[in-house]
Structures are given as structure tokens and as C-alpha cells.
Amino acid sequence: MNKQNYDIPVLQMIRVLNDHVGSTIDMPTLRDEWYFKMSETPDNNFIYWLDLTMELIGTNCELVYIRQRGWYTEVEIKVCKITEL
């Protein structure tokens, strides 16, 4: 991956995911760590940047979908391997 080709939010998202290689991370934790690395919370663009990042490095991660019918739905990301920056 060539650093010059991607926006800072994507790079920060990749850094957060790289911090959790070999484990799973839930969406609230991912969002909070991404906002911390961004040093601000700009206009709630988290989902846009997550979607773009998954298009770029989706083969390094697996989505884990957990559903308790009638109660809640939870999505976690299992980070399988590190993404080179």
C-alpha cells in the first residue's frame, strides 16, 4: 500500500485495525479509537471511512455478525493479518 495514495482518515483506520491483529474489535471501540487517533470527531464520517477502508483492505479482515433475534444485532471486525502502510 502506498501511503501517498490514501487520505489520513483511511491511514488512521488501518492503524487502529493493525493494533488489533489476531483479535476482534467491536464498532464502538473501533470508532472511539479512530476518533482518538484523528484527534477530533469530524461530522460523524466514521461509517464513510470504515466503508472505504474495508474496500481497500477487506481481505485482511472478517466481519462477524452476531444477532440475538428481537434483542440486538452486533457487528465486530476480526483482524486476521496486519496491513502494511
- Is position 63 within any domain? yes
Tell me, yes or no, whether 30 lies in a domain.
yes
Angstrom distance (rounded) from CA 39 to CA 71: 34
Residue 69: predicted pLDDT = 84
- For residue 81, give the nearest of 14, 3, 12, 7 by alpha carbon: 14
Tell how far CA 68 is from the center of its chain: 23
Residue 45 lies in a domain: yes
Domain containing residue 66: 7-79
Q: Write down the pTM of the prediction.
A: 0.81
Domain count, the chain: 1
pLDDT in tens, 45-79: 888 889 999 999 889 999 999 888 888 888 899 99
**Kind and range of the H or E element at 54?**
helix 46-57
28-40 CB burial, b ≥16 within 10 A, e <16: eebbebbbeebee
Residue 68 placed within a domain:
yes
Please indicate, yes or no, if residue 19 is contained in any of the structural domains: yes
Let me know if residue 53 belongs to a domain: yes
Q: Is residue 14 part of a domain?
A: yes
